[in-house]
Amino acid sequence: MKFLQCAFCGLLLTVTAAAQTAPSTPSTVTPKPASPQAGATPASPTISTLGGDQVKGPEHPLTLDQMKVLYVAMGYDKQVADMDANREKMIAQNKTRNPYMPDTVWQDLDASFNKIDYQAALYDVYKKYLSTEDAAKLIEFAKTDAGKNYFANAATLNREGTMAIQRQQQEVSQQVQARHKDEIEAAMKKYRDEHQSKPAPTPSGTAPAAPSGSSAPAATPAPATTPAKPPTTPQN
């Protein structure tokens, strides 16, 4: 649930990187899909699962009005408010790190962020997974004390839950390595012995080169043996 702050930081990095890197290829425009005909019932969105399977989304996705209610219930509005409060400080820091950047760029960046419709952006995501009925139940749950408590701590639960899973995986990995310590060390030694570098073979008839820094005299090649020519007899 911290993706909004991350998005702002990421854009700052993208802006500064773009000023230093020239585009190597011209941008291409991807044509938009044709709009559905008037009166036609929109097809259910297709969702790809982690296993790669295609699953149909809800036939009646939640409405934008429902998304606006969930936007507040799930704390997205507070995230945006926190981001706005930190934006001036973050821009000031990046201006110091990138003094070559014109002020108009930072002014445009700040103004453009104020125009983002986060509710509409999130709606495009949530409508692929939540139906109108699901959203209605979530909204009712958000009105209860249990719902308020859950949504207020949802970001922390997700973050700490992920960290707990990673810690368990690290501990298991260390335990497995400890149980196979001797096997791993023996396999490592065997691999190094089999793959250690060996001197290249010396071609036949040539002397090996003296090591660098050695004072040993270089070998003198043997003189070539040319058959002697017979003496010539002077002509009368």
pTM above 0.85, yes or no: no
Give Cβ neighbours of residue 141 (< 8 Å, ≥ 6 apart). Answer: 147, 150
Average pLDDT of the residues in 138-166: 94
Contacts by residues 119-125 (CB-CB < 8 Å, ≥ 24 positions apart): 119/64, 119/67, 119/68, 119/71, 119/76, 120/64, 122/67, 122/71, 122/76, 123/62, 123/64, 123/67
Average pLDDT of the residues in 169-180: 95
Average pLDDT of the residues in 117-139: 94
Structure tokens at 11: 């854009």
Question: C-alpha distances in angstroms, 81 versus 113, 125, 156?
Answer: 12, 21, 18
Ranked by mean pLDDT, the top range of 29-43, 177-191, 195-209 is 177-191
Residue 33, burial from CB neighbour count under 10 angstroms (0-12, 13-18, 19+)? exposed
pLDDT computed for residue 201 by the predictor: 63
Average pLDDT of the residues in 172-193: 94
Average pLDDT of the residues in 60-69: 94
Q: Are 133 and 60 in contact (CB under 8 A)?
A: yes
Closest to 180 (Cα-Cα) out of 191, 192, 168, 172: 172
pLDDT computed for residue 185 by the predictor: 94
Check whether 67 has a pLDDT greater than 60: yes
What does the alpha-carbon distance between residue 17 and residue 94 come to, in Å, rounded to a whole number? 12
**Percent helix, strand and coil across the chain, each rounded to 5?**
55, 5, 40
Structure tokens at 39: 């009166």
Alpha helical stretches, state H, 98-224: 103-114, 118-126, 132-143, 145-179, 181-195
What does the alpha-carbon distance between residue 147 and residue 83 come to, in Å, rounded to a whole number? 24
Ranked by mean pLDDT, the top range of 8-17, 123-132, 194-203, 207-216 is 123-132
pLDDT in tens, 75-112: 898 888 888 888 888 888 998 999 899 999 988 988 99
Q: What angle do CA 28, 34, 38 make, to 5 degrees?
A: 155
Structure tokens at 154: 């949802």
pLDDT in tens, 141-152: 999 999 999 999
User: What is the SS3 assignment for 181?
Assistant: helix
Question: What percentage of the chain reaches a pLDDT higher than 70?
Answer: 60
